[in-house]
């Protein structure tokens, strides 16, 4: 007995591991050998390509393409119509399946609607990628990035609120009251 929900229009190929309490919605396609953790939500019209790994509680909004080479850790949010790539220089007439690059999205990161993540990069823990951004390089943990190409404009808390650091380089999240320290251009939760 399966312990997850899949809408009757969803297609789930062979050799997939799908965690309990995961929901897979209308017209989504889970391709072979994927690993999807517990309590994930895969929205409508999502493609999860072969060998993709999604951790626990990953939220994938409608119209997202997650290509081979992508790993999302626990609690990642993928906004509507965002897209990953997996080849740096694709050409229709040239086969490059042996050149797929890895993209790692670390725990708690958010990628906004219509953002594009160029392959071969790591998105740090709890980073926040603004809607429509094009990520072309590594993103630091807790970084807030926007634009095309994306540029860091600040830092965010684990609750997704912009952080303002005081003279001692300490900031407090306005929702959780968690404290953060900025040191050597890296943010850590205290």
At 35-73, the pLDDT tens digits run: 999 999 999 999 999 999 999 999 999 999 999 999 999
Whether pLDDT at 26 is above 80? yes
Q: How far is CA 52 from the centre of its chain?
A: 12
Q: CA distances (Å), 169 to each of 57, 84, 164, 182, in order?
A: 32, 34, 9, 5
At 120-152, the pLDDT tens digits run: 999 999 999 999 999 999 999 999 999 999 999
Whether pLDDT at 1 is above 80? no
Q: CA distances (Å), 127 to each of 36, 54, 58, 131, 162, in order?
A: 21, 17, 15, 13, 11
Percent pLDDT > 70 in the chain is 99
What domains are defined for the chain?
5-87+99-156 (2.160.10.10), 161-190 (no CATH)
Q: Quote the pLDDT of residue 98.
A: 87
Q: Quote the pLDDT of residue 97.
A: 85
Whether pLDDT at 84 is above 80? yes
Distance from C-alpha of 37 to C-alpha of 32, rounded to nearest angstrom: 15
Q: What is the pTM of this model?
A: 0.96
* Higher-scoring residue by pLDDT: 177, 98: 177
Q: Quote the pLDDT of residue 33.
A: 97
Q: Quote the pLDDT of residue 85.
A: 95
């Amino acid at each position: 007995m399966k312990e997850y929900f899949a809408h009757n229009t969803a297609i789930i190929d062979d050799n997939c591991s799908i965690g309990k309490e995961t929901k897979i919605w209308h017209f989504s396609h889970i391709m072979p050998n994927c690993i999807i953790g517990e309590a994930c939500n895969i929205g409508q019209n999502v493609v999860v390509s072969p060998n993709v790994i999604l951790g626990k509680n990953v939220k994938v909004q409608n119209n997202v393409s997650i290509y081979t080479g992508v790993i999302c850790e626990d609690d990642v949010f993928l906004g509507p119509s965002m897209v990953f790539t997996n080849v740096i220089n694709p050409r229709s007439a040239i086969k490059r399946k042996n050149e797929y690059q890895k993209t790692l999205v670390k725990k708690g990161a958010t990628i906004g609607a219509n953002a594009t993540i160029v392959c071969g990069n790591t998105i740090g823990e709890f980073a926040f990628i603004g809607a429509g951004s094009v990520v072309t390089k590594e993103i630091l943990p807790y970084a807030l990035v926007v634009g095309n190409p994306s540029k860091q404009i600040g830092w965010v808390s684990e609750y997704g609120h912009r952080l303002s650091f005081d003279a001692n380089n300490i900031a407090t999240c306005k929702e959780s009251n968690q404290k953060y320290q900025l040191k050597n251009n890296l943010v850590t939760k205290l």
